[in-house]
Homo-oligomer: A and B are copies of this chain.
């Protein structure tokens, strides 16, 4: 897969609304084949994660952002199915606590960044601080712009210190969200996920698309790129994300640590 297709180039002018949320090009009409491909990627990711952990040199940070129901939870479950839970951590960022609000907005974020050998997935992230806050008018335009810059510098610092950052926007259409909300409302085992506040965000759809467009334009950098992931189809979504992660990890040219000098002569009594 050419992962560059989904990557936003730094400084590129783009509009989220021009992106195809319904793209199924990787499935290419053959779902069984696509599922096999996904399974092969899962196996590849499993061994790449083991190598990352063994080498204990690189850190991988994956940021997931999306509108409600776009599939952040399901991506985590499906893409990381079978990957050793010991090497993968998920940090979910909800509405900040009083203590978190009393600090700068990157304080709680920094605390959850990956250590050497770790993969950390952010389920929502510091980007909420330029999205929900902006759409609701809790911050002004100057603060928002300053935060883009602060985010870029923070991410650059992380990269300089051994972190690889991949940021994914899961792109669903407003119609697809409607179907998913209705399904949630009407399926007993899913009703607990239905949050009436999701309807409030849905009513602000256009504002959110603008806020995402601006935030992604301002913060897709060479060191921490954004990918726009077509997400109406879960299979397409998982294929794109799995491919980007596997290709990126492979690009790190990791190696198992060399055996200590004289290891073969050690006697196990």
Residues in A lying within 8 Å of B, measured CB to CB: 54, 73, 76-77, 80-86, 88-90, 92, 121, 123, 178, 181-182, 185-186, 188-189, 191-194, 196, 199, 202-203, 256-260, 263-264, 266, 268-269
Chain B residues with Cβ below 8 Å from A191 are 256-260, 263
Chain B residues with Cβ below 8 Å from A182 are 268
Chain B residues with Cβ below 8 Å from A193 are 54
Contact A264 B186 (CB under 8 A): yes
Copies in the assembly, this chain: 2
Partner of A194, one of B83, B123, B260: B260
- From residue A207, how far is it (CB to closest CB) to chain B in Å? 16
Chain B residues with Cβ below 8 Å from A199 are 266, 268-269
Chain B residues with Cβ below 8 Å from A54 are 189, 192-193
Contact A86 B76 (CB under 8 A): yes
- From residue A95, how far is it (CB to closest CB) to chain B in Å? 15
Contact B86 A188 (CB under 8 A): no
Contact A84 B89 (CB under 8 A): no
A77 to B89, CA, bound (A): 14
